A and B are shown apart, each in its own frame.
Chain A
Amino acid sequence: MYRSQKLALHYFAAAVIFFGVMTLFGLLSALYYLYPSMLFHTFDFQMSKIMHIDTLVIWLLMGMLGAVYWFLPKELGREVKGIWLAEILFWVFCAAVVVVALVFLFVQYGSSDQFSMWFINQGRKYVEAPRWAAIGIVIVMLVFAYNVIGTAIATRRMTGILWVLCIDLVPLCLVYLDAFPQFTNMSVDLYWWWWLVHMWVEGTWEVLIGCIMAWMLMEVAGTSRRIVETWLYIEVMLVLGAGILGLGHHYFWIGTPQYWLSIGGFFSALEPLPLLGMVVHAIYDAGTHHLKTTNQPGFYWITAEAFGNFIGAGVWGFMMTLPQINLFSHGTQWTVSHGHFAFWGAYACGVIAVLYVAKQKTSGIDYLSGRAWKWGFGLLNFGMLGMVMGLLLAGMAQAFYGRAMGGSTLMAFTQSSENPWFVSGMWARTGFGVVFALGYIVLVYDLVTATRRMPKAVAPPEPA
């Protein structure tokens, strides 16, 4: 095993741990809606939400970095260039995340000065980590870029997947930097902040997970390189074509010019179409292989990604993307529902699939299956589906009573938060959140013990 792949295993372990932390704080955040005065002035809702969302970003990022460190040496047939630096930075990265988490838990916030920004909380939604930690993330990404590009140069070999990955590394490192400037105009600030959220997370990550899925499909389904690379090029084209200007749906109500309503609405409405193509492709692949593969959990999680992405990003997004509807739905639990489903489908399912592939390869098992992964798969997906339905119900109640009827006043917001439909939705979200948490426990149990329970001599099913 390459040192890079050992590093990947460290990243996967860290990702699974932070996945658990994210789940824990998600459950806690859900409880605040049912018991609003819970932990008042001790650990307020906003800190729980910060922990939930920031660990979401961290575990997915770590999972994807790990996936690239896993597949890269195999792709190029040599150790990753500068792996020692990546190994050091992994521990620095983990230590930094732990320090930031401890600051969020025990210090929480400071006064509005430079010290707070640098050492406590940067104050920007979803990237609250203090400035020193944000710079640390940039350094990690730069070393990651050096590892990938340096290895490709050292081997004097490039594949289609690597070309896409290398080009993607440029915005992956650069776009994150727009989290740093301090604008005093809120519209300008939000304008660039959405670049970070939409372009970095929804754009460059989308291409990154596309590269990882290309390697995964070759590994799990035996799909030829030519086919996966063709699809990857198509995906990049669609991301650039519809995704970049789809950014406009975030610009509807932040003080940007009115033409963003048309641009955002138009390109966002087109986004389900390529996702539909992905569903067709997923079913084609599943049918071609008659659902038989040497790594059942990996294959099912990849398939779940295609469906989750279509329903979460496509259906849920299409429902609320036109400006006339979005005027009422944005910023409600309806958006939260869309966010949960889309992230789950677009990234989380893919990262979990990689975990299973790495598990199989490290333990030398020819055929990975069993019962526990099915429980994990079922509970996690059922829990997620229940959560997003609960959030959708709550969000629709907010949009209906608080926005459309109440006129978006503070009183209307408060009243809609006490509405029985809203409360029922939040109870459902909490209940299904528990189901999701159980699924996480089963997933971890399976990842830790699956290979012990699987006899090494089990023959894989007949290939399709």
Chain B
Amino acid sequence: MTPAALLYSAGLMGCLALAGGGYGGLYTWSRMRLNAGLRYTAFVCYGLVLLFAVLIAASTPLAPVWKTLVVASALIYALVPPLTWRFLVKMHEPGEQHP
């Protein structure tokens, strides 16, 4: 790995996780506020997650197994906020409360 490729690869990895966090945060906030604008922004963030995953797969010298893992994890990012949201809502349903 060249010095430039090192920083490039690591930077993309960090950006991917950060964009994933942005997607999760904005998705949840948009559902709380019922705000379509926030929701679109959340999906833009997820688009960035996919973009970074594609860039990692296509332009970094990482081994194929790590590229596959990164792409797979980028796909799983899509599911985490909606599934967590549904789980939270279900847990907080009034009929389910047993404080």
Residues of A within 8 A of B (CB): 224-227, 230, 262, 265-266, 269-270, 272-273, 276-277, 279-281, 283-284, 287-288, 310-311, 314-316, 318-322, 324-325, 327-329, 396, 399-401, 404-405
Known A-B contacts A227-B92, A319-B14, A322-B62; the reply to A276 vs B21 at CB < 8 A is yes
Known A-B contacts A273-B77, A399-B6, A405-B3; the reply to A324 vs B13 at CB < 8 A is no
Complex-state Cα separation, A327 to B92, whole angstroms:
45
Known A-B contacts A226-B98, A273-B77, A404-B6; the reply to A311 vs B21 at CB < 8 A is yes
Complex-state Cα separation, A327 to B6, whole angstroms:
10
- 12 A-B residue contacts at CB 8 Å? A226-B96, A269-B73, A270-B73, A276-B80, A277-B24, A279-B21, A280-B25, A280-B84, A287-B29, A315-B14, A404-B6, A405-B3
B29 x A276 contact (CB < 8 A): no
Instruction: State whether the Cβ of B28 lies closer than 8 Å to any Cβ in chain A.
Output: yes
B20 x A272 contact (CB < 8 A): yes
- Distance of A252 from chain B, by nearest CB (Å): 13
- Distance of B77 from chain A, by nearest CB (Å): 7
Complex-state Cα separation, A276 to B70, whole angstroms:
16
Q: Which residues of A contact B81 (CB under 8 A)?
A: 276, 280
Q: Which residues of B contact A319 (CB under 8 A)?
A: 10-11, 13-14, 17
Q: Which residues of B contact A227 (CB under 8 A)?
A: 91-92
Instruction: State whether the Cβ of B37 lies closer than 8 Å to any Cβ in chain A.
Output: no
Known A-B contacts A287-B28, A405-B3; the reply to A325 vs B10 at CB < 8 A is yes
The 7 closest A-B pairs by CB, nearest first: A287-B32, A319-B14, A404-B3, A224-B99, A318-B17, A283-B28, A280-B84
Complex-state Cα separation, A399 to B7, whole angstroms:
9
B76 x A404 contact (CB < 8 A): no
B28 x A280 contact (CB < 8 A): yes
In B12-39, the 8 Å CB interface with A consists of 13-14, 16-18, 20-21, 24-25, 27-29, 32-33
Complex-state Cα separation, A320 to B9, whole angstroms:
9
Complex-state Cα separation, A104 to B17, whole angstroms:
40
Known A-B contacts A287-B28, A287-B29, A287-B32; the reply to A280 vs B88 at CB < 8 A is yes
- Can you name 17 extra interface pairs (CB under 8 A) apart from A279-B24, A280-B24? A226-B96, A226-B97, A227-B92, A266-B69, A269-B69, A272-B17, A272-B73, A277-B24, A281-B84, A283-B25, A287-B33, A318-B13, A318-B14, A319-B10, A325-B6, A400-B3, A400-B7
> Among A226, A265, A270, A401, which residue has its beta carbon within 8 angstroms of that of B99?
A226
Minimal Cβ-Cβ distance residue in B for A225: B99
- Distance of A107 from chain B, by nearest CB (Å): 41
B25 x A279 contact (CB < 8 A): yes
Main secondary structure of the interface of A (DSSP, over half): helix
Q: Which residues of B contact A310 (CB under 8 A)?
A: 21
Instruction: State whether the Cβ of B1 lies closer than 8 Å to any Cβ in chain A.
Output: yes
Q: Which residues of B contact A288 (CB under 8 A)?
A: 32, 92
- Distance of A413 from chain B, by nearest CB (Å): 15
Complex-state Cα separation, A277 to B9, whole angstroms:
25
Most central of A227, A265, A329 by chain B CB within 10 Å: A227
> Among A273, A279, A287, A405, which residue has its beta carbon within 8 angstroms of that of B76?
A273
A284 x B28 contact (CB < 8 A): yes
Minimal Cβ-Cβ distance residue in A for B81: A280
Q: Which residues of B contact A276 (CB under 8 A)?
A: 20-21, 24, 77, 80-81, 84
> Among A226, A284, A320, A399, which residue has its beta carbon within 8 angstroms of that of B32?
A284
Q: Which residues of A contact B80 (CB under 8 A)?
A: 273, 276-277, 280
Q: Which residues of B contact A225 (CB under 8 A)?
A: 98-99
Instruction: State whether the Cβ of B2 lies closer than 8 Å to any Cβ in chain A.
Output: yes
Complex-state Cα separation, A316 to B17, whole angstroms:
9
Known A-B contacts A280-B80, A284-B28, A311-B21; the reply to A329 vs B10 at CB < 8 A is yes
Q: Which residues of A contact B76 (CB under 8 A)?
A: 273
A318 x B16 contact (CB < 8 A): yes
Q: Which residues of A contact B11 (CB under 8 A)?
A: 319
Minimal Cβ-Cβ distance residue in B for A272: B17
Known A-B contacts A280-B27, A328-B1; the reply to A224 vs B98 at CB < 8 A is yes
- Distance of B20 from chain A, by nearest CB (Å): 6
Instruction: State whether the Cβ of B43 lies closer than 8 Å to any Cβ in chain A.
Output: no
Complex-state Cα separation, A311 to B77, whole angstroms:
15
Minimal Cβ-Cβ distance residue in B for A226: B98
Instruction: State whether the Cβ of B66 lies closer than 8 Å to any Cβ in chain A.
Output: yes
- Distance of B7 from chain A, by nearest CB (Å): 6
Complex-state Cα separation, A415 to B9, whole angstroms:
24
Complex-state Cα separation, A266 to B63, whole angstroms:
13
Complex-state Cα separation, A288 to B3, whole angstroms:
47
Q: Which residues of B contact A329 (CB under 8 A)?
A: 6, 10
Q: Which residues of B contact A284 (CB under 8 A)?
A: 28, 32, 85, 88
Minimal Cβ-Cβ distance residue in B for A406: B3
Complex-state Cα separation, A269 to B7, whole angstroms:
18
Q: Which residues of A contact B17 (CB under 8 A)?
A: 272, 314-315, 318-319
